[in-house]
Structure 1
C-alpha cells in the first residue's frame, strides 16, 4: 500500500508539472501575440491599441520584462497626450527606482503639460543632477522662469551654458500658438538668459540683456523671438 501511495504521488506531481508547463507555454504564446499586436499598432501610430496591448501584457501575470513594458506604456501615454495616466504610472515607477532618468523625464513632461509647474520644477531638479543633460537644464530654466523664480532660472541657464553641446542640439521655440521655430539650443539658452536678466532688472542689466540677445542672434540670425525681444527692449 505504501509503494502504491508513493507511486500515486509521483503521478500526481508529474501531472501538476505538466499542467504548470502547459500553462506557462500558453502564457508565453499569449504574451508573444500581444507583443506583435503592440509592435504593429506602433507601426501604424495606433496608440490606443498599443496601450491596450501593453495593459493586457502587464495584467496577464506572466511577469515577462515587466519594467520594459511599463516604460513603453508611459511612452505611449505621452504620444496619446494622456498626461494624467502617464504621471500616475511614472510616479509609481520613479518611487520604485529613482535612477531611471527616462521615466523621470516622462514624469516631468507629463506634469508640465498639465500645467503643474511646481511639480514639474521639482522633478526636473531631481533629474538634472542625474542626467547632466543640457535639454533638461533648459526646460527647468523655462519652468522656473514661468514660475517667476528668476534668480533660480538664471543659475540654471548659466549651468546649462557650461555643459558640452553637440552639433545636433536643437530645440523648438514657439513663435505663436500654431508655429514653432527650430533653433540651436545655444541660441535658445542665450535668448532665455536675456529674458531672465530683463525680468530681474531691465535697467541694471541693460548691457547684459543686449549682450545675451546679440549672442543668440550670432548663433541663429533668423531667431524670430530674439529679434522681437531685442527690438522691444531697445525702444
Structure 2
C-alpha cells in the first residue's frame, strides 16, 4: 500500500514538474513572439525591410500554424517588388489553405508581373469564384486573351458586360502620355471584346464592341486607338 502511495506521489510530482515546464516554455515563447513583433513594427517604421522580413521568418518558424505571419511576409515581398519571393511564399500559403484570398491575390499579381500569365490566371479565377471581385474576372479575361484562349476570354468578357456592377466599378488605364484615366469595367470589357474579335478577324463585331465601349467612355484612349488600328488594317 505504501509503495502504491509513493508511486502515486512521484507520478503527481512528475506531472506537476512537466506542467510547470510546459508553462515556462509557453511563457518564454510568448515573450519572444512579442519581442519579435515589436522589432518587426519598428523595422517597418524605419523602412528596414530586411530586418522586418527576418523577424517574420523567425515568427513563422516558431509559430508554424499561425498563417498571419506568412501572409505578412508574402505582402512584404510583394510591396517590395520581389515578385518571385512573393509568389513562392503565397503558393506555400495556398498549400495549407487553397481558399486563402490574400494569398490568391498575391500569387496572381506576382506571377502576372513576372509575365507568367498561364500560371497567374488560375489564381485570379479562384479569387473571382471566392469573392465575386470583377477586377479578378477582368484579369482572367485579359490573360485568357493574351494566351489566345479566345472563346474563354469572350465568355469572361460577356460575364463582365452582363454584370450590373460593371457599370459602376472602375479600372485605371495608362495613356500614351503616361497619365492614367479611369473607365468602367464594362467599357474595359467591351474594349477587350473588340480585341478578341480583331484577333479572330471578325471586323464587324470588333467595330461594334469598340463603339459600344466608346459610347460608355467617350475619352477611353485605348478603345480609340484600337478602333483606329482596326480601320487602318481594314483599309489595307
Indicate whether the TM-score tops 0.5: yes
Change (3 A) 1:151 1:86: same
- Number of equivalenced pairs: 230
**Cα separation, 1, equivalents of 2:157 and 2:43:** 40
| Alignment correspondent of 1:205 | 203
**Cα separation, 1, equivalents of 2:177 and 2:59:** 38
Within 5 A, what are the aligned runs for 1:9-158?
9-43=11-45, 46-60=48-62, 62-63=63-64, 66-158=66-158
Checking the alignment, whether the CA contact within 8 Å between 1:47 and 1:79 is kept in structure 2 is: no
**Cα separation, 2, equivalents of 1:160 and 1:132:** 11
TM-score normalised over the length of structure 1: 0.82
Deviations 1:155-214 (A, max 9, x none): 11111222241776222223359554333222221221111111112xx432x3233223
Q: CA deviation at 1:44?
A: 5.3
Q: Which moved more, 1:169-178 or 1:112-121?
A: 169-178
Change (3 A) 1:200 1:224: same
TM-score normalised over the length of structure 2: 0.82
Deviations 1:38-87 (A, max 9, x none): 33444555543332221111112x45x61122222222221122222222
**Cα separation, 1, equivalents of 2:66 and 2:121:** 29
Q: Which moved more, 1:102-111 or 1:132-141?
A: 102-111
Q: Which sections of structure 2, spanning at least 5 residues, go unmatched?
A: none
Checking the alignment, whether the CA contact within 8 Å between 2:160 and 2:166 is kept in structure 1 is: no
Change (3 A) 1:111 1:70: same
Q: Which sections of structure 1, spanning at least 5 residues, go unmatched?
A: none
SS at match of 2:50: helix
Q: CA deviation at 1:98?
A: 1.9
Greater share of helix residues, 1 or 2? 2
**Cα separation, 1, equivalents of 2:106 and 2:181:** 23
